[in-house]
Amino acid sequence: MQFHMNGFHDGDPLVQVPASGRQGPQGPIPPELDVLIIGSGPAGLTLAAQLSAFANIQTRIVERKPAPMLRGQADGVSCRSMEMFKAFGFADRVLKEGYWVNETTFWGPNPDNQDEIARIGRVQDVADDLSEMPHLILNQARIHDMYLDYMRNSASKLEVDYGLELVNLKVDPDGGEYPVTVTLERLGFVHDRKHVTVKVKYVIGCDGARSPVRNAIGRELNGDRQGQAWGVMDILADTDFPDFRYKSVIKSANQGNILLIPREGGYVTRIYVELDKISERGASRNIGLERLVDVANNILNPYTLDVKDVGWWSVYEVGHSVADKFDDADGDDIPHVFIAGDACHTHSAKAGQGMNVSMGDTFNLGWKLISVLNGKCRPELLKSYSGERKAVAQALIDYDHKWARVMSAKTTDDEISGSQEPAFKTHFIAGGKFTAGLSVQYPASELVGEATWQHLAKGEDLGMRLHSAPVVRLADGKLVHLNDSILADTRWHLFAFAPAGDNGKGDSAMAKLCDWLQNNPQSPVVKYTPKGADPDAVLSVYGVFQQHHHALELTDMPALLKPKKGPYSIIDYEKIFCPDLKNGNDIFDMRGIDRQQGCMILVRPDQYIAHVLPLAEVEQLSAFFEGFMLAR
């Protein structure tokens, strides 16, 4: 992590100096806002956290509940979400505190006695080199806490306003700068301060499956609203089930199914019990905790589960549905109201996706919103959110449907005898990339280039997230990950991979590219960087070379890769990388980078790959940015 650039920062470097006017308490909601977020779940907080770094944008986030959540709800954190948490600087805390899903075990009927279960297989949960991050389990409340800390530490010191519920939202297309009028009701107040009315530029409804914001803009969830019934409980238990600390998928012959998810801290386990098999559809709501424990014991036979304490439990039915559009705009209109998270998509918890896809929604929206509000990008950029994220939601619903069919199918004799791999195991393995959150691929658009030069970086797919790899930093020999440089700060990133033999000197391809980027009037660095800002404030450029780091000299490197920054004009030393040859991890091999030609990989602020280009195709690079940027 980088700090001290602007002079010595005493104390915790994660705690930013408050922006002007943000030293004291946040105060009442002002009559006009740039951004109003409704709902403080994972989607709302992911967005609020991004905005909190920009104190010049007037943002508020309101929550119907009276206080932060403490327990329950989601707990799956996908590899992709962990990669995103790196950009917020708290992935390390989740790594430390969460349960690591290392292997998943599969249990089916014991062939010798089908009233009992037996382990029928196990798989490594995340394939090698799928991501630099593991799959984790941590209570959603703690993820909230980390976002709340991030906001508390930010320059704006943004806080959630609890106990405020949306009662009215109206968009006036002719409403000028603040076209959305929102009325909030303060819970527990009966006097004249009960209602707050505020005019807003952009409203984002992160307000759950029954989303009042969605209803207010007339969008609808489409799909089957009735779904499977599940019971879920977070328990402390004494048990002889040997895989109590492995994620386990358990299909009994006749007693139903369990999804067992060990939880953080070494003792708690979450058990999902499929209830369709044991009750009439719709009757599940009357099922109590005792019945859940009984069913779990029946399924786990011959093992027993002596539940000692229950932290949280719930019985619910959930369908599969997606909103028809994720914003309020029709045709060529610019959207001013967005919906995200459960407000856009509902599905089961089986694939552990809910929290992750919700955070992905607003990580897609956040940089766009900030870039438009700060005059960096055209407002039309905001139209890309609904299309990019609706496709992701639809893929999730389709996957969830498939999982449901596989889990509810009766185990065949061949599966029980072991002569055939059980379908739920093969399906689980096949879905590995999906459940890790790594199958999302945004299609070609103004924000994702055509795949003309995809062959120059075969392992870095256009529209997918940058697949990081270990690299050694030239300036200090530190082994880092390529994506460590990407923070949640709306900057674009250009990774220039050098051709074989290129050492950055003289008239090498890298030197030429860097010279063009630094000096040519058509360069996005020149065109879009505000006067007086750091040279990497809009587009941060990195060089990745093929040589061992002892074979290169910092002195020889192009000036653009040693940018002088901040009030003291001092060098940022973290832009030049070499392959990790000592450990045999050559990023050029790992990611299929063309060794003869090298290439440029342009990465969006949300870590998705926007373009792969030959090093000399600087005009294409320039043209790409013209599609959505505003010149300074």
CB of 444 to a copy of itself, least distance (A): 36
* Cβ-based nearer residue to a copy of itself, 210 or 308: 308
Backbone angles phi, psi at 530, to 5 degrees: -60, 150
Residues pairing with 108 in the sheet: 118
* Cα 462 from Cα 454, distance rounded (Å): 7
* Cβ-based nearer residue to a copy of itself, 242 or 375: 242
Q: Tokens 């001092």 map to which residue?
A: 570
* Cβ-based nearer residue to a copy of itself, 307 or 382: 307
* Cβ-based nearer residue to a copy of itself, 11 or 331: 11
Peptide bond into 302 cis (omega under 30): yes
CB of 64 to a copy of itself, least distance (A): 20
CB of 476 to a copy of itself, least distance (A): 4
Distance from chain centroid for Cα 571: 31
CB of 142 to a copy of itself, least distance (A): 8
CB of 13 to a copy of itself, least distance (A): 6
CB of 388 to a copy of itself, least distance (A): 32
* Cβ-based nearer residue to a copy of itself, 184 or 576: 576
328 C-beta neighbours (distance < 10 Å), count: 26
CB of 490 to a copy of itself, least distance (A): 20
CB of 140 to a copy of itself, least distance (A): 13
* Cα 106 from Cα 125, distance rounded (Å): 12
| The residue type at 71 | R
* Cβ-based nearer residue to a copy of itself, 236 or 630: 236
* Cβ-based nearer residue to a copy of itself, 53 or 339: 53
* Cβ-based nearer residue to a copy of itself, 21 or 242: 242
* Cβ-based nearer residue to a copy of itself, 480 or 616: 480
| The residue type at 9 | H
Contact 335, 385 (CB under 8 A): yes
Residues pairing with 540 in the sheet: 493
* Cβ-based nearer residue to a copy of itself, 213 or 544: 544
* Cα 497 from Cα 614, distance rounded (Å): 10
Q: Tokens 């995809």 map to which residue?
A: 454
* Closest by Cα among 614, 566, 428 to 7: 566
Q: Is 482 exposed, middle or buried (0-12, 13-18, 19+ CB in 10 A)?
A: buried
Q: Is 351 exposed, middle or buried (0-12, 13-18, 19+ CB in 10 A)?
A: buried
Question: What are the angstrom distances between the C-alpha of 100 and each of 311, 525, 540?
Answer: 20, 41, 33
Backbone angles phi, psi at 139, to 5 degrees: -50, 130
Question: What are the angstrom distances between the C-alpha of 232 and each of 286, 348, 494?
Answer: 14, 12, 45
Binding site for a copy of itself (CB under 8 A): 1-5, 7-13, 70-71, 92, 95-97, 99-100, 102-103, 122, 141-142, 145, 234, 236-240, 242, 244-246, 262-268, 308-309, 311, 475-479, 550, 553-555, 564, 566, 568-574
For the chain, how far is it from start to end, CA to CA, in angstroms?
A: 29
CB of 480 to a copy of itself, least distance (A): 9
CB of 338 to a copy of itself, least distance (A): 31
